[in-house]
C-alpha cells in the first residue's frame, strides 16, 4: 500500500463546475498537507498549505484536512479551462524530516 493514494484521473468537468480532488494517506504522523498544481512541462506550483485538521480558503480554492479519516481534499469553485493541469497532493511531518511524500497526481481537464 502506498503511503499516499491519489486517483490519477483524468477528471473531466465542464467550465464553471465545482471540482473535488482527494487524497488518502496511511501514516497518522503526517502533519503538513499541501496541494500543488503542475502544468505540462512545468514545475509544480504551491497552491495550498495547511497544518493539521481544518479548512483553508484562498480565492476559488478550499483545502480540507480530516486527520481522523486520513483524508484531504481540494475544492475548486467556478472551474476555468486555465485550471486544467495535474494536481498533486503532498504531505510531510516530523518523522519525514524535510521530505515531502507525493500522491500520484490527478489530471484535471476543464472543458469550455
Q: Which residues bind to other proteins, rule: CB under 8 A? A: 32, 34, 36, 41-46, 49, 88, 92, 97-100, 102-105, 107
Q: Report helix, strand or coil for 42.
A: coil
Number of residues in the chain: 112
DSSP character string of 45-74: EEEEEEESSEEEEETTEEEEEETTTTEEEE
Q: Looking at beta carbons only, is 5 or 13 nearer to other proteins?
A: 5
In whole angstroms, the minimum distance from the beta carbon of 66 to other proteins comes to: 19
Nearer to other proteins, 65 or 105 (CB): 105
Amino acid at each position: 500500500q502506498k503511503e499516499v493514494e491519489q486517483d490519477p484521473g483524468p477528471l473531466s468537468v465542464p467550465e464553471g463546475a465545482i471540482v473535488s480532488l482527494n487524497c488518502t494517506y496511511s501514516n497518522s504522523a503526517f502533519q503538513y498537507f499541501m496541494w500543488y498544481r503542475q502544468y505540462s512541462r512545468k514545475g509544480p506550483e504551491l497552491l495550498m498549505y495547511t497544518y493539521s485538521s481544518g479548512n483553508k480558503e484562498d480565492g476559488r480554492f478550499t483545502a480540507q484536512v480530516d486527520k481522523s479519516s486520513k483524508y484531504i481534499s481540494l475544492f475548486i469553485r467556478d472551474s476555468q479551462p486555465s485550471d486544467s493541469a495535474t494536481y498533486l497532493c503532498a504531505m510531510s511531518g516530523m518523522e519525514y524530516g524535510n521530505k515531502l511524500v507525493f500522491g500520484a497526481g490527478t489530471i484535471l481537464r476543464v472543458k469550455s
